[in-house]
Chains A and B, each alone.
Chain A
Amino acid sequence: GQQLNQSPQSMFIQEGEDVSMNCTSSSIFNTWLWYKQDPGEGPVLLIALYKAGELTSNGRLTAQFGITRKDSFLNISASIPSDVGIYFCAGRQGNTGKLIFGQGTTLQVKP
């Protein structure tokens, strides 16, 4: 099925470092969402973006809706061990309820 291009696939960083990941598409989206999923759990919503250019923060997390509406990025500042998990971007086109997901970025944090 259709997926967004999410990068990097995985990251192994030191506690305290900042992290950046992004999601791109050849198509336009009108909503971008970022989720975090722990093993054996469902995705948990981190940040929702609804307008091109929108920059939104949630604690140490910051995400932006790209001005072209074809990309989004997520930054995590001062990473901590509990940031470990798989981060997914998801986008919606048009007025449908269908979310299209990226392949995920696996984040590992070394204490």
Chain B
Amino acid sequence: ETGVTQSPTHLIKTRGQQVTLRCSSQSGHNTVSWYQQALGQGPQFIFQYYREEENGRGNFPPRFSGLQFPNYSSELNVNALELDDSALYLCASSLAITGVRDTQYFGPGTRLTVL
């Protein structure tokens, strides 16, 4: 177990709705990254948060947004849900963003289904 927790485990929403996913990072870690994993694919980087600021973003539209809190936990918000947003959303925590040893440890994920 990595110590990274995510909630909820499963979620069903309808197109156009908004969703908030939550992540608690591993103790001692200060950085959270979010990934989207479609069925049968590798995870795709959404963005990373460090010191409550977004630090790097992948190729995702602005309706994907996030927050990081002072205790380093994080939220991923997705507005105006589309059918293609159905995926496993993974949170990964790590200790630092500088240098190459920023090893990311993943949580179990939230399975989002958009109908």
Interface residues of chain A, those whose CB is within 8 Å of chain B, are 1, 3-4, 6, 30-31, 33, 35, 40-45, 48, 50, 88, 90, 92, 95-104
A97 — which chain B residues lie within 8 A by C-beta?
A: 31, 33, 48, 50, 55-56, 94, 97, 102, 104
| Cα distance A96–B54 in the bound complex, in angstroms | 12
Encoded as 1 (CB less than 8 Å from any A CB) or 0, chain B from 71 to 115 comes to 000000000000000000010101001111111111111010000
Of A1, A3, A44, A102, which one neighbours B106 at CB under 8 angstroms? A44
Which of A6, A45, A95, A98 lies at the interface centre, i.e. has the most chain B CB atoms within 10 A of its CB? A98
Q: Quick check: is B58 within 8 A (CB to CB) of the other chain?
A: yes
A35 — which chain B residues lie within 8 A by C-beta?
A: 106
Q: A30-B100, A97-B33, A97-B48 are in contact. Are A103 and B41 (CB under 8 A)?
A: yes
Of A31, A102, A104, which one neighbours B100 at CB under 8 angstroms? A31
Q: Are B43 and A101 in contact (CB under 8 A)?
A: yes
Of B90, B94, B99, which one neighbours A43 at CB under 8 angstroms? B90
Q: A35-B106, A42-B108, A45-B105 are in contact. Are A101 and B44 (CB under 8 A)?
A: yes
Smallest beta-carbon distance B62→chain A, Å: 17
Q: A35-B106, A97-B31, A97-B94 are in contact. Are A92 and B100 (CB under 8 A)?
A: yes
* Minimal Cβ-Cβ distance residue in B for A42: B106
Q: Quick check: is B70 within 8 A (CB to CB) of the other chain?
A: no
Q: Are A1 and B44 in contact (CB under 8 A)?
A: yes
Q: A98-B56, A103-B41 are in contact. Are A42 and B33 (CB under 8 A)?
A: no
Smallest beta-carbon distance B84→chain A, Å: 13
B45 — which chain A residues lie within 8 A by C-beta?
A: 1, 98-100
Q: Are A88 and B106 in contact (CB under 8 A)?
A: no
Q: Are B43 and A43 in contact (CB under 8 A)?
A: yes
* Minimal Cβ-Cβ distance residue in A for B110: A42
Q: A95-B99, A98-B56 are in contact. Are A42 and B107 (CB under 8 A)?
A: yes
A104 — which chain B residues lie within 8 A by C-beta?
A: 40-42
Which of A44, A90, A97 lies at the interface centre, i.e. has the most chain B CB atoms within 10 A of its CB? A97
Of A40, A92, A101, which one neighbours B42 at CB under 8 angstroms? A101
